């Protein structure tokens, strides 16, 4: 990891507390809900047209659980969210996003306040777990195409959430000309080309929500 | 983890049987495969088998809740073999297993084709095979070429 001394300072302060994570997940739920129709439209082109409703249902369960049993640490908030997504959403998005958040949460440990660098590293752990679970890599036209550049930007850019969100958006857009190699879209072969991947699109929403609450 | 034993049924008369859960995107497919597998397993006591197909509202998909419910219902303490069809069914079971406490202890995802694997798994489980042997019997279904 190459980080300059100045960025190490700005990314090294333990500034993110549990309330921040609560706000992030709540904002993510709102974004997913707002964009549910668009996610389902993208998914109806190359998938099974349930991505919007699955994400909406999953994140509604996340916000309900956060209210019901407020977690005491950032890590616990992400683990709680991941668990809800895994146990409540049956589409591929549930296990994949659930694994992302749960692994990231576990990587954060019990700290009550964490640094942006810690978050970047924890998200990297989560993204690696998603790649392993799905057996996929960047370039396969999946959520990884937004997640990997976003985490790279967060780790390299001195902890800028705005830069991470921008990288995720670009990554999602870059899936349009890609040939799908995973999931139902891969059965379409060349016909998957020309459509933006719904999973990469919802991944970008998570980072947009992060930038929104950090602003 | 118990060591892998041989394929023969274990000798104790009151051996606990391995449970089998059949996960499909379709409730009708999961139920039919369960009936087919128990039917072909023949007479006598059969291992507990349950389908976990579709979503709770009757649609196509995978439901983590239905999978966990079925796994607990077939659990007799000897492990549960979970067979799946495709896509999100595979990911859902993998993620549930990674959670650690969503599925009964000794549950495992079996790498096998759903229909052929289900028949082999139910036959083996009904004969008293342990969960490793049940999984192996189902996995062997991949080796049976049809052409």
- pLDDT at site A11: 59
Residue entry with tokens 């039919």: B32
pLDDT bin (cut points 50, 70, 90) of residue B1 is very low
**Coil/strand/helix, residue A183:** coil
Distance from the Cα of residue B20 to its chain's centroid: 3
A117 occurs within a structural domain: yes
The pLDDT tens digits for A140-185 are: 999 999 999 999 999 997 789 999 999 999 999 999 999 998 888 8
- pLDDT at site A185: 85
* A95 interfaces chain B, CB cutoff of 8 Å: yes
Residue B95 has its nearest CB partner, among A48, A50, A98, at: A98
* A210 interfaces chain B, CB cutoff of 8 Å: no
Chain A, nearest residue to B88 by Cα: A92
* A199 interfaces chain B, CB cutoff of 8 Å: no
- pLDDT at site A191: 87
Structure tokens at A130: 């998603």
More confident residue, B75 or B60: B75
Residues with Cβ within 8 Å of A28's Cβ and at least 6 positions away in sequence, in order, are: A59, A62, A205, A206, A209, A210
The pLDDT tens digits for B84-116 are: 999 889 999 999 998 888 999 999 999 999 999
Structural domains in chain B, sorted by start: 25-127 (3.40.50.510)
How much is the ipTM here?
0.79
A35 occurs within a structural domain: yes
Expressed as residue numbers, the domain containing A194 is 13-214
CATH of the domain at A179: 1.25.40.340
- pLDDT at site B57: 87
A95, A99, A100: best mutation site toward chain B, by most B Cβ within 10 Å?
A: A95
Tally of domains in chain A: 1
Contact in structure between B91 and B119 (CB atoms under 8 Å): no
Using a CB-CB distance cutoff of 8 angstroms, which residues of chain B are in contact with residue A50? Answer: 61
Task: Express as a percent the part of chain B with pLDDT over 90.
Answer: 74
A6 occurs within a structural domain: no
Walk across the sheet containing B107-109 and list its strands: B49-53, B19-24, B80-84, B107-109
pLDDT bin (cut points 50, 70, 90) of residue A2 is very low
Is A86–B91 a contact, with Cβ atoms under 8 angstroms apart? no
A75 occurs within a structural domain: yes
pLDDT bin (cut points 50, 70, 90) of residue A60 is very high
* A43 interfaces chain B, CB cutoff of 8 Å: no
Nearest-CA distance from A162 to chain B in Å? 30
A2 occurs within a structural domain: no
- pLDDT at site A186: 86
* A183 interfaces chain B, CB cutoff of 8 Å: yes
A160 occurs within a structural domain: yes
A7 occurs within a structural domain: no
A142 occurs within a structural domain: yes
What is the C-alpha separation between A111 and A103, in angstroms, rounded? Answer: 15
- pLDDT at site A182: 86
Task: Express as a percent the part of chain A with pLDDT over 90.
Answer: 79
């Amino acid at each position: 990891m190459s980080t300059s001394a100045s960025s190490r300072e700005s990314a090294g302060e333990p500034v993110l507390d549990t309330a921040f994570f609560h706000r992030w997940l709540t904002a993510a739920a709102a974004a997913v809900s707002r964009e549910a129709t668009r996610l389902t439209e993208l998914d109806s082109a190359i998938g099974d047209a349930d991505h919007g409703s699955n994400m909406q249902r999953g994140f509604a369960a996340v916000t309900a659980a956060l209210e019901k049993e407020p977690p005491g640490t950032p890590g616990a908030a992400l683990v709680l969210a991941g668990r809800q997504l895994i146990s409540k959403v049956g589409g591929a998005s549930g296990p994949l996003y659930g694994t992302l958040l749960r692994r990231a949460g576990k990587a954060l440990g019990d700290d009550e306040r964490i640094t942006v660098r810690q978050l970047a590293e924890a998200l990297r752990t989560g993204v690696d777990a998603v790649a392993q679970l799905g057996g996929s890599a960047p370039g396969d036209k999946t959520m990884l195409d937004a997640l990997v550049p976003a985490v790279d930007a967060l780790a390299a850019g001195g902890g800028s959430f705005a830069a991470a969100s921008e990288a995720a958006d670009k990554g999602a857009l870059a899936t349009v000309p890609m040939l799908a190699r995973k999931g139902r879209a891969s059965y379409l072969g060349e016909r998957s080309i020309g459509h933006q991947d719904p999973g990469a699109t919802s991944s970008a929403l998570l980072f947009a929500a992060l930038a929104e609450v950090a602003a | 983890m118990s060591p892998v034993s041989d394929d023969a049924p274990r000798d104790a008369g009151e051996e606990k049987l391995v449970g089998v859960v059949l996960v499909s995107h379709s409730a009708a497919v999961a139920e039919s495969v369960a009936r087919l597998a128990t039917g072909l397993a023949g007479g006598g006591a059969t291992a507990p088998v349950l389908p976990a197909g579709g979503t709770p509202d009757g649609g196509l998909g995978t439901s983590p809740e239905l999978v966990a419910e079925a796994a607990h219902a077939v659990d007799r303490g000897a492990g549960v073999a979970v067979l799946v069809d495709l896509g999100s069914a595979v990911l859902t079971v993998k993620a549930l297993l990674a959670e650690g406490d969503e599925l009964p202890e000794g549950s495992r995802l079996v790498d096998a084709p759903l229909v052929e694997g289900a028949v082999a798994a139910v036959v083996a489980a009904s004969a008293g095979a342990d969960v490793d042997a049940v999984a192996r019997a189902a996995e062997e279904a991949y080796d049976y070429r049809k052409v």
